[in-house]
Amino acid sequence: MARAEAVPILLPRRSGWRVVARRYAHVPLLAPGVVLSVAVFWVCMAILVIMSVYPFLAAGTPRITWSAWHRFLADPYYWGVVGTTLRLAVIVTVLSLLIGFPTAYAISKIRRPGWALATYLVLFAPILVSVVVRTYGWLLLLSNNGGVNFVLRALGLVREPVPLIFNATGIVIAMVHILLPFMVFPILSVVGQLMPDLKEAAMDLGANRWVTFRRVTLPLTLPGVVSGAQIVFTLMVSAFVTPYLMGGGKVQILSGLIYRDMEAVNLGFASVVSLVLLVLAATILAVSNRLVRHTYRRAEVERS
Amino acid sequence: MTLASLTEHDVELREVSKHFGTVVAVDRVSLQIRRGEFFSLLGPSGCGKTTTLRMIGGLEFPTGGDVLLRGAVVTDLPAYRRSTNMVFQHLALFPHLTVFENIAFGLRLRGEAPAAISRKVDAALQLVDLPGYGAREINQLSGGQKQRVAIARALVNEPAVLLLDEPLGSLDLKLRLQMQTELKALQHRVGTTFIYVTHDQGEALTMSDRIAVMSAGRVEQIGTSVEIYARPQTRFVAGFIGEANFLEGRVAEAGPGRVLIEVGGLRVLAAGDGTPAVGSPVTISVRPEHVKLGAAAGAAANRWEGRIQEVTFMGSIVRARVMVADGIALTAEVHNDVAVGLSPGAAITTGWAPQHTVVLAR
Amino acid sequence: MSASGGAAVHGAAGRDATRRDPVRTTLLVFLGLVMLFMLAPIVFVVVFAFNSASYAIFPPPGYSVRWFVKLFHQEPLFRAALNSLIVAVTATVVSLVAGTLASLALVRYRFAGREALRTAFLAPLIVPRIAFGVAMLIYVVVVRRFGGLDSLIMAHLMITLPFAISILSATLVSADRSLEEAAMDLGATPLQTFWKVTLPQIRTGLAVSGFFVFIISWDQVETSLFLVKTDNMTLPVAMFYYLQNQQDPVIAALSTFLIAIAIAVAVVAVVTVNPRDLQRLLSTGAR
């Protein structure tokens, strides 16, 4: 068509109410969420920051003070608490992985759908049972008069009951139990997608089982492993109920420290510890997110 | 009033543009589509044809220009206020509703009486040759049946314009050819204006009354199938519709009724007036089926001795590549009964008549 | 148990299993042990609910139902359960409504700052809940509203809303946009389109996120801990305090009820929800 001859009739852009309404259609949809989020969450975050340097609820005239921060940062005891928190998180994550990986792998090997569903149920149902109840169960099982020590003594393995609660062991056992599903399900979701023909191809090429596992299965399941580990680690760092009850005040981690200071109505210091915990959790998440993305990309490359 | 009654145009686009951020999807497109016409928007993917269709349907809104439906400006009216209906690329049938409820969807929204709805849906099912299918679930239908339901769902609302966004794309070739014929027949029967988006030139050529060929957001040419095929106005159109030999040259002489173009060492005659001035660079385009070989080329005004490079048997036709001058090779398509004796390396007379030389300004 | 056993089988797990395969057998035995590990504390709580002694000892000296009888006289626990229910239902409904609206905006509209807004909405998910409890207490003291259920609902909403948004956005992304366009093309206004086409498509996502959001709120200790007094006590916090102070198996009797409900719900969930959805959900870290 004779485009060259067409006179550019640039009609003025319409600016009726429909155009305006269309441009701002998302605003009413967002409003309730934004109001809630700002009015509670973001105000709360601001409060934490302000409270940590300006304890306005304390008696006397409030003024800006770094004393709470100083107290935390200068005292090796509190750094020790940070260390314990991280150490427990590492132990729980590693154990969850060592148990969770073969568990997921085994579930993927179940041939009868009924049994697979049953294992799903056993892994899933505890999530619906209150953390408090599950912790209570472990207190009953692991106490000096509990089931585990009874069995150990009955088998003649020990004469005196082994202390399994009110120490790190109890925390680790109970937390592995609570967090295991969060490790198993992400791994399961990648193991389920693992194409059997990929493994068969590797076997055809002469790789034995161990090599197949290391070269094919493991790299391809790595994304699931990494995201499972990420969830378990971050949940463990900020967990409170179980570590507190199982630790019985003998093992101090950051969440317990916050609770102690809240009981003592030490709001400024509790805010500082809360912020430290928040920064810790956010940092872990940021670092592990990069790792997750990296492994996902690598798995994509391997797959293709 | 008026404009609506005076004009015969169901749809008019005036300098319509659509920008997505910095990407110009549609660039100042103007079209007029007559009432009852089967109009196709044809072009490669990403040429802006679907966006243009969606702007007519009110699913996308122009950044500039105006859309008119039966003479009324509807540029900013949303889809649910327009008398257009669309058959979507992936059909977009509601999986949670039966065939009947899918087709009745628009009628119910307009608050029609249950009896009228029932009658119209039945008539629509009859129209698309699916009587008695109302109670079926969508996932019980075959690909072709889904196609028909999607068409019925749109047509039952008696739209001013029916918009079709590559609706046959997901069908296999045989079913596709059958649906093409049926669609055309259906359009004759209902008399509704159809605007059909496709990237398949064959589909557009067989079904359309007129075609707009689009490329990079712009309309390259609008015309009937024959016009588009025989008289492409741009190199893009010549290359996209069918196949063509392109030769770059310069106008040497322009007399009444004839133009002489120098292409390398060759002098090519073209019929027509000397629209491009003498000395201006042009591209000429010749369809392979117009390039004659051997005795058939003997009387052609454009004729050279060439050497066959390659012969490809393609069933009813045979394609040959002939070198006629240094660096100038032509593709010819000849019927396989005249192709006997074509063999690579052989010398052969090659040529075409001047009326088949299409001169494109560069 | 787990460290050595886990590591040993871990290596073996790699071998591809075929029928009657020792590797496969080892794996399945290991799986059985893990299942036992998962069930043990829960089974133990139930066993202890029928313990005749008022202290925790295994094996129990005898069996009785007296803790169940005593439980029914614990009026504060019923109050707490009712409070928990009110808070959880409200938080769930508000999260689903506000979450659906926000997700629609985030998924279906293009506007400046959309990505930033999405991040801002999901940010509460990374905040440790106990830290949030601290902030919420200070907030509540500042605005001088203490002791109501409303502050609890607000606190829970901050966790449940981002959770609902993350699930519902994912659901909406996978919902077919062209169906909504088809509805509008056929004359449905945006509101009609939502009710007639969008909602039926995201029903599963709504049910699943509603379910998880409810559980999260119902089982919330950390964020509620500092906000509750006697009149707005919630059940998990009441149980938390009870465990710290008393050891008698009343709490085991209560837990038995909760476990029974949880199992019933889990059976329904596992049977009705697509296992793939379940995996995806738990992969996002719902707890």
- Transcribe C103-158 into DSSP letters: HHHHHH---TTHHHHHHHHHGGGGS-HHHHHHHHHHHHHHTT--S-HHHHHHHHHH
Nearest chain B residue (CA) to A9: B15
Hey, what are A96's tokens? 């969850």
Residue-wise pLDDT for A259-294, tens only, equals 999 988 888 999 999 999 999 999 998 998 888 888
Q: What confidence score (pLDDT) does residue A304 get?
A: 60
Q: Do residues A104 and C254 touch, judged by C-beta distance below 8 A?
A: no
Count CB atoms within 10 A of the CB of residue C60: 16
pLDDT higher than 80, residue B200 = yes
Q: Is B215 on the interface with C (CB under 8 A)?
A: no
Q: What is the secondary structure of B229-255 as a DSSP string?
A: HHS-SSHHHHHHSS--EEEEEEEEEEE
CB pairs under 8 A between B and C: 56
Q: Is A11 on the interface with B (CB under 8 A)?
A: yes
Residue-wise pLDDT for B322-360, tens only, equals 998 888 899 999 887 776 678 888 888 899 998 898 888
The per-residue pLDDT of chain A, averaged, comes to 86
- Confidence class for position A303, pLDDT limits 50, 70, 90: low
Which of these, B194, A245, B337, B45, lies nearest to C241 by C-alpha position?
A: A245
Asked if B76 and A9 come within 8 Å (Cβ–Cβ), the reply is no
Interface test with B, best of A13, A14, A17, A20 (most B CBs within 10 A): A14
Shortest Cα distance, chain B CAs vs residue A18, angstroms: 7
Shortest Cα distance, chain A CAs vs residue B63, angstroms: 8
Nearest chain A residue (CA) to C46: A137
Q: Is B76 on the interface with A (CB under 8 A)?
A: yes
Contacts of C239 in chain A (CB under 8 A): 130, 132-133, 136
Q: What confidence score (pLDDT) does residue B7 get?
A: 54
Contacts of A26 in chain C (CB under 8 A): 105, 109, 111
Asked if C183 and B88 come within 8 Å (Cβ–Cβ), the reply is no
Q: Which helix (H) or strand (E) covers residue B350, if one does?
A: strand B347-352
Hey, what are A47's tokens? 């409060």
Hey, what are B256's tokens? 């009444």
Contacts of A193 by beta carbon, 8 Å cutoff, 6+ apart: none
Shortest Cα distance, chain A CAs vs residue C68, angstroms: 16
Q: What confidence score (pLDDT) does residue A75 get?
A: 94
Contacts of C197 by beta carbon, 8 Å cutoff, 6+ apart: B94, C179, C180, C182, C183, C188
Q: Across the interface, which of A137, A214, A275 has its CB nearest the CB of C44?
A: A137
Shortest Cα distance, chain C CAs vs residue B106, angstroms: 5
CA gap B129, B90 in Å, rounded:
20
Residue-wise pLDDT for A159-181, tens only, equals 888 899 999 999 999 999 999 99
Q: What confidence score (pLDDT) does residue C157 get?
A: 94
CA gap A17, B298 in Å, rounded:
70
Q: Give the bridge partners for B99, in sequence order.
A: none
Asked if C200 and B96 come within 8 Å (Cβ–Cβ), the reply is yes
Hey, what are B182's tokens? 């049926």
Which has the minimum average pLDDT: A18-22, A98-102, B142-146, B272-276? Answer: B272-276
Contacts of B233 in chain A (CB under 8 A): 1
Residue scoring higher pLDDT (A17 or B112): B112
Shortest Cα distance, chain B CAs vs residue A112, angstroms: 29
pLDDT higher than 50, residue B319 = yes
Asked if C158 and A203 come within 8 Å (Cβ–Cβ), the reply is no
Coil, strand or helix: which one is A80?
A: helix
Nearest chain B residue (CA) to A18: B76
Nearest chain B residue (CA) to A1: B221
Asked if C34 and A125 come within 8 Å (Cβ–Cβ), the reply is no
Cβ within 8 Å of B, A 29-48: none
Q: Do residues A198 and A220 touch, judged by C-beta distance below 8 A?
A: yes
Q: What confidence score (pLDDT) does residue C20 get?
A: 66
Q: What confidence score (pLDDT) does residue C287 get?
A: 38
| pLDDT digit string (tens) for chain C, length 287 residues | 333 333 333 434 444 444 567 888 899 999 999 999 999 999 999 998 998 888 778 788 888 888 899 889 888 899 999 999 999 999 999 999 999 999 999 999 989 899 999 999 999 988 999 998 999 999 888 876 666 888 899 999 999 999 999 999 988 998 899 999 999 999 999 999 999 999 999 988 898 899 989 999 999 999 999 998 888 899 999 999 988 887 778 889 999 999 999 889 888 887 777 666 666 666 654 43
Please, which chains are in contact with B (at least 3 CB pairs closer than 8 A)?
A, C
Q: Do residues A243 and A171 touch, judged by C-beta distance below 8 A?
A: yes
CA gap B58, B77 in Å, rounded:
6
Q: What is the secondary structure of C24-87 as a DSSP string?
A: HHHHHHHHHHHHHHHHHHHHHHHHHHTBSSSS--SS-S-B-SHHHHHHTT-HHHHHHHHHHHHH
Please, which chains are in contact with C (at least 3 CB pairs closer than 8 A)?
A, B
Which has the minimum average pLDDT: A51-60, A130-139, B144-153? Answer: A51-60
Q: What confidence score (pLDDT) does residue B278 get?
A: 83
Interface test with C, best of A40, A56, A123 (most C CBs within 10 A): A40
**DSSP single-letter state for residue B214:** E
pLDDT higher than 70, residue A201 = no
Q: What confidence score (pLDDT) does residue B253 get?
A: 85
Residue-wise pLDDT for A208-252, tens only, equals 777 777 777 777 788 889 989 999 999 999 999 999 999 988 899
Q: Is B72 on the interface with A (CB under 8 A)?
A: no
CA gap B134, B122 in Å, rounded:
8
Shortest Cα distance, chain C CAs vs residue B71, angstroms: 20
Whole-model pTM: value is: 0.83
CA gap A42, A34 in Å, rounded:
10
Separation in Å, CA C55 to CA A230, B126, C52: 39, 79, 9
pLDDT higher than 80, residue A42 = yes
Shortest Cα distance, chain C CAs vs residue A9, angstroms: 29
CA A260 to chain centre: 23
Asked if C38 and A177 come within 8 Å (Cβ–Cβ), the reply is yes
Q: Across the interface, which of A102, A146, A181 has its CB nearest the CB of C13?
A: A102
